[in-house]
DNA sequence: TATGTATGCAAGCAATTACTTGCATACATA
DNA sequence: TATGTATGCAAGTAATTGCTTGCATACATA
């Protein structure tokens, strides 16, 4: 079975499942979206569930967030965190399909949890490393790195999700505006005042 | 049809849907969980979807967060926000089933969005009122109340969701610990220093 | 007692859906 | 040319599922 066909099927599956959920996405839907025959899906993957498992097992191989991003940090908290937040949002957009599976497909979540958790975990580790570095430079007023990392992720995750669910019916400002201002708040809280 | 039966069906439906999603929850499941006959469900509500609509329309009537909670505020930011955060988490637990429908049941989300949005909206309004009051007292260093409210909600929402999804596999501290410490951070950021 | 109302139970229907089978076709490579 | 491999297509199967129907039963109230 051709690799390009396999890839098309995987992409279509992730797209549809993240939109409609696992159960509501039929193999006919996937076939149509991928522009292949439904039978081809079963010949390639065996079953519907195996498409998802195949897609998520890729997470095992590749680091969702590259630690080299820390090399771009300047030591200016506001600038750095803004950059990291944009990285988070970019990452979220790229992996949205996969992340949404976690929320929208309770039917298979337990089975794919171990793969999905790599996404937030990877980001958390990068953040902790960043805060450690800044603490050593004497820029932070706290050494509770895990809490800081987790607060930062929760803030962004919560926002992105509410934004995705309710958009401007609930939120009176743009994505960029929120990120910028919430980081200003965040920095105000953690920077060492001297 | 008896009201207690109707109530049992609604509760079971919300519980199951918030766990398994709309599509994966069958009317047979609901009947079993509620301890009634499947036919009774259709005699009471007509269709599966109408159970959900009936349940969520209750949100139209009742304010999810009572504004009188603001009377309990002392003017001590840390204390007040801790109280409000616990209220948020309590509210989340109570309404969890409904909130989860928003995330887990894309199939019906568009139809029930207008009801569900009342939950975060109500909380946001209460928070904005609180921040306004504190600002008038000269306790805040910013008047961007909506942003503050939204950052506070995002932070808590994001945490609760990640906690619900990955629990202690991702998070190294307890619910209470996170709330307490993240509020300390938050307060540090917004309180006027003089 | 009689009548209406709420519920249970057994059966079933029609649509959907994951998955299969058999066969035709295109295409590449030996 | 011949053979294997990837795909399309038409048809079908078995299970699930939302919903219906017909009938029995319990219970309350007139």
B116-129 pLDDT tens trace: 999 999 999 999 99
A1 Cβ within 7 A of any nucleic strand D atom: yes
DSSP characters for B54-107? HHHHHHHHS-SS-GGGGGG--S-HHHHHHHHHHHHHHHHHHHHHHHHHHHH-HH
Distance CA A22, CA A47 (A): 13
Q: B4-13, B52-61, B176-185: which has the minimum mean pLDDT?
A: B52-61
A-chain residues near B161 (CB < 8 A): 103, 157-158, 161
* Closest CB from A104, A147, A150 relative to B106: A104
Predicted local distance difference test score (pLDDT) of residue B50: 96
CA B134/CA B136 separation, integer angstroms = 5
Contact B185 A151 (CB under 8 A): yes
Question: What CA–CA distance (Å, rounded) separates A188 from A25?
Answer: 45
With CA atoms as reference, the chain A residue closest to B108 would be A20
Kindly determine whether residue B150 and residue A171, on different chains, have CB atoms separated by under 8 Å.
yes
Both structure tokens of A14: 């992730």
Encode pLDDT of B9-58 as tens digits.
999 999 999 999 999 999 999 999 999 999 999 999 999 999 999 999 88
Q: Which of B184, B65, B193 has the alpha carbon at shortest distance from B139?
A: B193
Task: Give B142-151 contacts, CB < 8 A, sequence gap 24+.
Answer: B142/A185, B142/B190, B144/A181, B146/A172, B146/A173, B147/A173, B147/A178, B147/A181, B147/A182, B147/A185, B148/A185, B148/B190, B149/B124, B150/A159, B150/A171, B150/A178, B150/B124, B151/A155, B151/A178, B151/A182, B151/A185, B151/B186
Q: Is the pLDDT of residue B194 over 70?
A: no
Q: What is the pLDDT of residue B44?
A: 96
Output the pLDDT for position A85: 93
H or E element that contains B151: helix B145-166
H helix runs in A21-117, sequence order: 27-34, 38-45, 48-61, 77-104, 106-116
Crossing angle, helix A48-61 and helix A106-116, to 10 degrees?
20
In this predicted structure, the answer to whether residue A194 has a pLDDT above a threshold of 70 is no
Residue-wise pLDDT tens digits, A117-144: 999 999 999 999 999 999 999 999 999 9
Query: Of A151, A161, A166, which is closest to B155 when you measure between CB atoms?
Result: A151
pLDDT at B64 over 90: no
* A29's tokens: 């839907």
Least confident of A13-27, A96-110, B159-173: A96-110
Q: Cβ B106–A19 below 8 Å, yes or no?
A: yes
Strand D interface, B 28-67, C-beta < 7 A: 28, 38-39, 42, 46-49
Q: Which residue is nearest to nucleotide D9 (CA to C1')?
A: A37
pLDDT at residue B96, rounded to an integer? 87
CA of A100 to C1' of D18 (A): 27
pLDDT > 80? residue A95: yes
d(CA B98, CA B100): 5
Q: Render pLDDT for A17-35 as a digit per residue (tens, 0 to 9).
A: 999 999 999 999 999 999 9
């Amino acid at each position: 079975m051709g690799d390009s066909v396999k890839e098309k099927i995987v992409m279509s599956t992730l797209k549809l499942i993240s939109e409609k959920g696992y159960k509501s996405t039929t193999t006919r839907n996937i076939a149509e979206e991928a522009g292949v025959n439904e039978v081809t899906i079963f010949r390639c993957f065996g079953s519907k569930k195996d498409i998802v498992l195949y897609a998520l097992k890729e997470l095992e191989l590749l680091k969702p967030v590259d630690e080299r991003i820390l090399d771009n940090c300047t030591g200016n908290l506001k600038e750095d965190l803004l950059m990291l937040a944009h990285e988070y949002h970019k990452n979220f957009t790229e992996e949205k399909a996969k992340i949404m599976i976690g929320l929208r497909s309770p039917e298979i979540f337990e089975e794919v949890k171990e793969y999905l958790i790599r996404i937030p975990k990877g980001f958390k580790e990068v953040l902790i490393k960043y805060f450690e570095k800044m603490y050593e430079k004497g820029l932070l007023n706290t050494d509770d790195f895990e809490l800081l990392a987790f607060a930062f992720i929760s803030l962004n995750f919560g926002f992105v999700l509410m934004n995705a669910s309710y958009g401007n019916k609930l939120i009176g400002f743009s994505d960029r505006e929120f990120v910028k201002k919430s980081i200003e708040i965040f920095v105000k809280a953690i920077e060492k005042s001297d």
